[in-house]
Amino acid sequence: MKTVNVSSLKNNPSEALRFAHDGMVLVMNRDQPDALMVGLNQTGGILDMSGVRAALATSLFKDGALSLARSARLANMVLADFIVHVSRLGIPVINQTAAEVDRDMDTLDQWLSL
């Protein structure tokens, strides 16, 4: 197990990620353990377990960390299937205010009138 302190993690996060590919990395904060980084290849194929990829992709999409297309790819789903998946969970696929929807509808009306 490798150990890094918080300041070295801030200054060179890629080094900690490289360490995590080979094993666990303990992040120390003022001589106290603060976090543990584990490379996904060290977890015994956790991403290959049933439902894990879809759950991870759904969570990342819901939090806005991944786009719809990237989330679908992570989940190993066709985009349309991922849209159905998140919709069934009550997660909006398009997140717009009423004003944005009104502007989009006005734009659509303009295009259709040409």
Which runs of E-coded beta strand occur in the chain?
Answer: 2-5, 25-29, 32-37
Distances from the Cα of 58 to the Cαs of 19, 46, 96, in angstroms? Answer: 27, 16, 19
The answer on 51 and 19 residing in a single domain is: no
Do 56 and 97 lie in a common domain? yes
Compute and round to an integer the Cα radius of gyration of the chain.
21
Q: What are phi and psi of 28, to 5 degrees?
A: -105, 140
Q: Which domain holds residue 14?
A: 2-42
Total tally of structural domains belonging to the chain: 2
In angstroms, rounded to a whole number, what is the distance separating the alpha carbons of residues 32 and 35? 9
Assess whether 53 and 102 both reside in one domain: yes
Task: State residue 27's pLDDT score.
Answer: 94
Q: Which of 50-54, 80-84, 99-103 has the lowest mean pLDDT?
A: 50-54
Is residue 60's pLDDT more than 90? Answer: yes
